[in-house]
């Protein structure tokens, strides 16, 4: 009997927005790699790294249309919402609350897989 090898779980937490953005939330990965953490600390362009961390959100634009969970979607957010997302994520990483594990944790997100391919080609 052959057993499949264990895979790294993807652990995420829901981050709730407040104020004018009450009701908005984002599910963000909390077990990020050291490479991602270092990139967040050493870059002026946070969008690609944050795009890897956000798994899902319910953000919509002024017309009620869903904003895609992507680097382009992050760049389209109002600055105060983007700042709140970063702040709430930082608070979440410090909190000892339970996390959820994604059911598709054995598969990297398409964005993460694409970034890995690019980084190994350099």
pLDDT class of 75 with cuts at 50, 70, 90: very high
> Cα(75)–Cα(42) distance, rounded to whole angstroms?
19
DSSP assignment, residue 36? H
Q: Contact at 8 Å (CB) between 105 and 7?
A: yes
pLDDT class of 58 with cuts at 50, 70, 90: very high
The pLDDT assigned to 8 comes to 84
The pLDDT assigned to 33 comes to 85
pLDDT, one tens digit per residue, over 9-53 is 888 999 999 999 999 999 999 988 888 888 888 877 888 889 989
> Cα(25)–Cα(59) distance, rounded to whole angstroms?
7
Q: What is the mean pLDDT of the chain?
A: 82
Whether residue 116 is predicted with pLDDT greater than 50 in this model: the reply is: no
Query: Does residue 93 or residue 89 have the better pLDDT?
Result: 89
Largest CA distance in the chain: 56
DSSP assignment, residue 34? H
Q: Which residues on adjacent β-strands are paired with residue 60?
A: 66
């Amino acid at each position: 009997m052959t057993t499949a090898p264990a895979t790294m779980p993807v652990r995420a937490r829901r981050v709730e927005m407040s104020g004018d953005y009450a009701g908005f939330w984002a599910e963000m990965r909390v077990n990020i790699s050291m490479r991602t953490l270092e990139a967040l600390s050493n870059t002026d362009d946070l969008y690609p790294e944050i795009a890897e961390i956000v798994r899902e959100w319910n953000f919509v634009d002024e017309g009620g249309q869903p904003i895609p969970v992507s680097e382009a979607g992050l760049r389209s957010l109002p600055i105060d919402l983007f700042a709140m997302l970063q702040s709430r994520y930082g608070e979440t990483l410090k909190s000892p609350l339970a996390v959820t594990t994604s059911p598709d944790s054995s598969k990297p997100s398409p964005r993460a897989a694409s970034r890995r391919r690019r980084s190994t080609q350099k």
